[in-house]
Amino acid sequence: TKPACEFIHGLRVQKPMPQGEHSTLQRELVISLTLLFRRSRSAVAYPELRCSFGDRSIVPDIAVFLANRVPRTADGRVENTFSIAPDWTIEILSPGQSTTKVVKNILHCLNQGTQMGWLIDPAEQTVFIYSPLQPVLCFDLPEQRLLAPAFVEDFQLTIEELFSWLRT
């Protein structure tokens, strides 16, 4: 098994292999978002989905798309190729992963229409939230409720709840 590769400015960049904390947070977030979106059918959360747009081909840890923006075939099936930016991109730092490269991918998404980007740092138990035209927000207190894009209704998750998944 090989880790995913991203293509940035024509260069192939290999993502690090996910480890336990990364995979746990990714799994729990995808499950939580899927259960939330299933009720309203408003959006879909995809783990490790290649998204090719602008001059990059990236693989966010979680890419969330509004349901009406999911590329479809003529018969209504989900396309294999996503040539648009996600509506919400979520990245989880792995040990040894370059924060700068991950932030650049989030900023690229925001410049291409993404509504929000999260950068989750398990080692620091911190989430940085990026939005267009707003300063970066830092969430690191246990009781802080994380912000989600406007299209996400009834999303209730605190820093404490997020990182408690690492103890289950």
Q: What is the 3-state secondary structure (H, E, C) of 44-105?
A: EEEECCCEEECCEEECCCEEEEEHHHCCECCCCCECCCECCCCCEEEEECCCCCCHHHHHHH
Q: How many CB atoms are located within 10 Å of the residue 32 CB?
A: 17
What does DSSP assign to residue 134?
A: S
Contact 39, 154 (CB under 8 A): no
Give the count of beta carbons closer than 10 Å to the beta carbon of residue 102: 24
- pLDDT in the model for residue 56: 87
What's this model's pTM, rounded to 2 decimal places?
A: 0.90
The predicted structure's pLDDT at residue 19: 75
Radius of gyration for the alpha carbons in the chain, expressed in angstroms and rounded: 15
Mean pLDDT by 10 residues, the chain (168 residues): 57 64 96 93 95 92 98 96 97 92 96 98 98 95 97 92 96
Put the strands of the sheet holding 126-130 in their side by side order. Answer: 43-47, 62-66, 88-92, 116-121, 126-130, 137-139
Task: For residue 158, report the phi and psi dihedrals to the nearest 5 degrees.
Answer: -100, 165
Q: What is the rounded CA–CA span in Å between residue 162 and residue 166?
A: 8
Give SS3 for 164: helix
Domains of the chain: 5-167 (3.90.1570.10)
**Number of other residues whose CB lies within 10 A of the CB of residue 126:** 16
Q: What is the pLDDT of residue 82?
A: 96
